[in-house]
Amino acid sequence: MRRRYREELRFRSYGVAAILFAITSLCVLLVSIVTEAVSAFSRHDLSIDLYLDPAVVDPSGERDPEAIRANVSAFSDLIRGELRELFPDAAEDRDLRRQLARMVSTLSAEEIAARVARSPELVGSTLRIEAPLSDRIDLYLKGLVTGQTVWEGVGSADVLKTSEVIEIRSQGAFSEAYRALADRLADEAEGRKQLAGASESAIVRADERIGALQAERTKLASLGAESLSDIVRQSVIDEGEDLSALSRIAGRAEASGDVQTFRAALGSAFAKRADDANREADELLARGDAFQRKALEAEARGEPNAETRRIQARTAYLAGDRRKVDATRFEELVRSASDLDVGALAATSSLLTSRPLSPLGRVVGSANEDMLLRSVKEVNQREIAAAEAAVTDQIARIAGIEARVGTLKPVAPERAEALADEGLSAARSKLRRLERDLAVLKSTGVRLASPVPAVSAGDDPAATNPIIDDAAVLAPNAAVAPSAVLFDLTEFLQTEAEAQLGLDLGGAAAAAYALGRFEGGAVGAEAELRALMTARLDRELEKVRADKLRLERKRDRDLKAAADLLSVAANPSAGIVLDDFSPTLLVEIAGGVVKAQRISESQVVGRELIPLSSDGTFAGGTWSIRELLVPEADRLVTDHQIVWADQLMKEGDIVRQANTSLLTHADSTYPELAGLAAGLAGSFWIMLVTLTLSLPVGVMAAIYLEEFAPRNWLTDFIEVNINNLAAVPSIVFGLLGAAVFINFFDLPRSSPLVGGLVLSLITLPTIIIATRAALGAVPPSIREGALAVGASLPQTVFHHVLPLAAPGVLTGAIIGLARALGETAPLLLIGMVAFVADPPESMLDSATALPVLVYKWSSGAERAWQPMTSAAIIILLIFMFAMNALAVYLRRRLERRW
């Protein structure tokens, strides 16, 4: 029995828990949005007296409203000038001036200009203006940028002012701030230790990988020729098709002497490219035609997108023409491929594989010798120039890093060390490598300049040949080009291979080449393959080893940093150095603000953000310490801007007031100026269309189904249809709108008309179902009474039943409209997300809607968009709840019970 009661209780508690869960979710939703929205309903304005200097505002002196309105920059200059007067020390430095100017919203001058343009007699007078602050400063003042801790200054403080720094001494007064910082350092040390742990496990993994690679390398030596070639073939196939195939054929040609196949393959490769280019060109041209046609149609109807279409058409035509040129080039190459002599083919194959001129090249007749030499020289010159440029670049980069290390050293020695360790050493080793390359290239150049002994055809492949040797020295950096055409072509092939196939040319193509040689039965090809694979494994090994080394150094550095941080935190007398990445510590003393650069328990050393009036000794309670928890590097408001904003706030130059622009402004790319006016107007038009379409149609359809329709399959079908439409996802209606209203009927995109049409289709089933319910609730006695006195069926319905059902119909319609007001997805599909700067004036203008603005703003990058989105949601919800409340009220008020 007790068990049954317990069970009963448990079952009951499930129900309570379920309801509580639902209610809690609703509360969390509303609370999180409301708390986020609160800050958007007010904003901070800079409120100062502005002298409207006629010489600046109206240089022509004609008081022409249009000229004044257009002269926005003059007004923003005036505002900036005013700010600079308030903070004269900021005027010295360019960076500070820019920070100061950015405190005020970029376009705030526009409204002032408009105001003065309306009453030009204001020019020359002093005007009290209220200019919105930029969103970041606004957020800071609302406390959304950084948390703060303030400590009253206890005990007297001695201020020592030198030319560079300010030193403030006070026995023990800084200990609390110091300890807070030290705690954070300890936290950071803990984080560093964790990082070191992560590095450690990565090192273990690297070790395993090294072991595996080494095992593979040993295994390679014992592999048979066939399985070896299989491995290579697999890796070649894995890495890409086009070029590898060509390289393989080249290799086979070289091994078997069958040049014809290679020639044919090269020819067909070009032919394929020519085909591609031709096809692409045709497609592009056709696309251009289509756009051109659309442009015409759009223009004929006076739609605004005609110009866009025409530009699209032009772009397509241009691209098509370019591809046509490509195609002709390839066609030429197809023709020349069949004429290429052995030497050119050899050069091509070596170009493809980026490897030294192959032994095939050694059968080159002396006819090509000069040409080869020339090209090698040319390439050599180019390479030298490029290498020299790279060396100069690298030297400049190193100098830059050194400068950065120098500036970091005094403030953050450990960070500077890390930079020197990681960045500088890497840069230096790269420089060394570049210099070595340059030296090799130069020595080759010297050798090339000396006369070359003749090469005779059919030389022993093993015999040395200066050109080949030089080419070997150049490789793999230098490509040897027998002719400009070929050079062009192979360069194209290579870039395409790299871009499209993600092919590492040196690796895959060379492997394919060697594989081809093996397949062609070349002597020693097996050894070559083996060497190749070994080399690849070695490269991989080298990479993993380098990774491991890097990880080890990182781990050691992290461990050291953790130890350092802990020792600093444990040693109060030494003090902590603060940089951009630590919390900001401000001392407000003597009418100025000092930013701490080093802090110990009884001393702060820093620089002035706002100049102190004097130095000397200040009594306890007259000064304070403030910590901004978010480091300067992690926020968009600088320390300077923060102290300026605080100063302005203190002096009453910044006022906080209701954010009226939220309702009066249209959308903007600046959160502090954006408003919902356009969205409200758009939603209004959409609702108007929806109401005028869906209410009459819905009510009439419901009347037909409920009162007139005969019971037959057609009526059943309509009913099933309506029930289904009520459950079809709204986005499908959006698809319908895009395909039918926009694409087929060519109604203007993003217009309230199309939006209203789509939403009225969505609302229709709701209204029909509600109306039918309301009609069904009217008792049959009413109908029978009317019919009994001789009224026709339509008379009965329209004179007696419908008036009685009206409250229910109205309630249903309002609820349906409220739901349509919140609908977003279908509106996105018919283009209502476009940026709309002005409220629409008719049903055919581009418009946006309230929920769409919510969606758009929610993806805004700046932090200020979040409160704005929440505020927009609140306004949307207010409208919806008002509509629902109206429906409930009407139902209560007009409802009749039978």
Partner 1 sequence: MFEQIAHSRLAVGLLAVLAIGAFVAFFLGRRRAIGIVSGKTRDLHSRPNYHGYLVALTFLLPGLAVLAFNAILGEVLADRMALSRLPADIASLDPAAKLERISAAHELAERPLSDPFALEGETIDPSVRAYAGLAAEIRGQVKLAAVALASFLSLIGLAFALIRIRRELRARNQVEGAIRALLMICSGVAIATTLGIVLSLVFETARFFGEVPPTEFLFGLKWSAQTNIRPDQVGSSGAFGAVPLFYGSLLITFIAMVVAAPVGLFSAIYLSEYAGPRLRRSVKPILEVLAGVPTVVYGFFALLTVAPAVRAFGDWLNDLILAAAPWLEGPVIDAQPTSALAAGLVMGVMIIPFVSSLSDDVINAAPQSLRDGAFALGATKSETVRHVILPAALPGVVAALLLAVSRAVGETMIVVMAAGQRAQITPDPFQDVTTITVQIVDLLTGDTEFDSPKTLSAFALGFGLFLITLLFNLIAQRVVKAYREKYE
806-865 residues near partner 1, rule: CB under 8 A = 818-819, 821-825, 828-829, 831, 833, 851, 854-855, 858-859
If one asks whether residue 768 binds partner 1 (CB under 8 A), the answer comes out as: yes
> Closest separation between CB of residue 348 and partner 1, Å?
22
Site residue total, partner 1 (CB under 8 A): 112
Distant-in-sequence contacts of 205-208, Cβ < 8 A, 24+ apart? 206/544, 206/545, 206/547, 206/548, 206/551, 207/548
- In the bound state with partner 1, the residue whose beta carbon lies nearer, of 223 and 693, is 693
Tokens for 607, please give them: 């620089």
- Three-state DSSP at 161 gives strand
Q: Are β-strands 624-628 and 166-169 bridged in parallel, bridged antiparallel, or unpaired?
A: unpaired
If one asks whether residue 318 binds partner 1 (CB under 8 A), the answer comes out as: no
- Identified binder of partner 1 from the candidate list 704, 773, 782, 863, rule CB under 8 A: 704
Tokens for 778, please give them: 């009217």
If one asks whether residue 884 binds partner 1 (CB under 8 A), the answer comes out as: yes
- Identified binder of partner 1 from the candidate list 98, 205, 428, 432, rule CB under 8 A: 205
- In the bound state with partner 1, the residue whose beta carbon lies nearer, of 108 and 866, is 866
Residue 846: which residues within 8 A CB-CB, separation 6 or more? 748, 749, 750, 751, 834, 836, 840
The amino acid at residue 800 is H
Interaction mask 236-275, partner 1, x per CB under 8 A? -----xx---------------------------------
- Three-state DSSP at 152 gives strand
> Closest separation between CB of residue 302 and partner 1, Å?
5
- Identified binder of partner 1 from the candidate list 452, 541, 705, 890, rule CB under 8 A: 705
Phi, psi of 839 (to 5 degrees): -60, 145
Tokens for 411, please give them: 């403030």
- In the bound state with partner 1, the residue whose beta carbon lies nearer, of 438 and 740, is 740
The amino acid at residue 330 is F
Q: Are 148 and 588 in contact (CB under 8 A)?
A: no
CA 686 vs CA 123, 692, 845: distances in Å:
43, 10, 12
The conformation of residue 793, written as its DSSP 8-state character, comes to H
If one asks whether residue 283 binds partner 1 (CB under 8 A), the answer comes out as: yes
- In the bound state with partner 1, the residue whose beta carbon lies nearer, of 577 and 687, is 687
> Closest separation between CB of residue 651 and partner 1, Å?
35
If one asks whether residue 16 binds partner 1 (CB under 8 A), the answer comes out as: yes
Stretch that binds partner 1, among 117-125, 289-297, 393-401, 586-594 (CB under 8 A): 289-297
- In the bound state with partner 1, the residue whose beta carbon lies nearer, of 181 and 871, is 871
Count CB atoms within 10 A of the CB of residue 658.
Answer: 10
- Identified binder of partner 1 from the candidate list 723, 781, 799, 889, rule CB under 8 A: 723
> Closest separation between CB of residue 417 and partner 1, Å?
29
Q: Is 656 left (phi over 0), alpha (psi -120 to 50) or beta?
A: beta
> Closest separation between CB of residue 504 and partner 1, Å?
15
Residue 789: which residues within 8 A CB-CB, separation 6 or more? none
If one asks whether residue 774 binds partner 1 (CB under 8 A), the answer comes out as: no
If one asks whether residue 563 binds partner 1 (CB under 8 A), the answer comes out as: no
- Identified binder of partner 1 from the candidate list 46, 50, 78, 295, rule CB under 8 A: 295
Count CB atoms within 10 A of the CB of residue 337.
Answer: 23
Of residues 638 through 657, those in contact with partner 1 by CB under 8 A are none
Q: Map 571-614 to HEC letters.
A: CCCCCEECCCCCCEEEEEECCEEEEEEEEECCEEEEEEEECCCC
Stretch that binds partner 1, among 73-81, 279-287, 325-333, 584-592 (CB under 8 A): 279-287
Count CB atoms within 10 A of the CB of residue 715.
Answer: 14
Of residues 585 through 624, those in contact with partner 1 by CB under 8 A are none
- In the bound state with partner 1, the residue whose beta carbon lies nearer, of 12 and 179, is 12
> Closest separation between CB of residue 315 and partner 1, Å?
13
If one asks whether residue 777 binds partner 1 (CB under 8 A), the answer comes out as: no
> Closest separation between CB of residue 528 and partner 1, Å?
29
Q: Which residue has the tokens 């360019």?
A: 94
Tokens for 423, please give them: 């960045």
Helices 242-256 and 342-353, packing angle to 10 deg: 130
The DSSP element (H or E) to which 400 belongs, if any, is helix 369-411
> Closest separation between CB of residue 7 and partner 1, Å?
6
> Closest separation between CB of residue 897 and partner 1, Å?
17
- Identified binder of partner 1 from the candidate list 149, 308, 483, 668, rule CB under 8 A: 308
Stretch that binds partner 1, among 338-346, 369-377, 547-555, 701-709 (CB under 8 A): 701-709
Radius of gyration of the chain (CA): 40
DSSP letters along 226-240, please? HHHHHHHHHHHHHH-
> Closest separation between CB of residue 170 and partner 1, Å?
40
Q: Are 641 and 595 in contact (CB under 8 A)?
A: no
If one asks whether residue 544 binds partner 1 (CB under 8 A), the answer comes out as: no
If one asks whether residue 720 binds partner 1 (CB under 8 A), the answer comes out as: yes
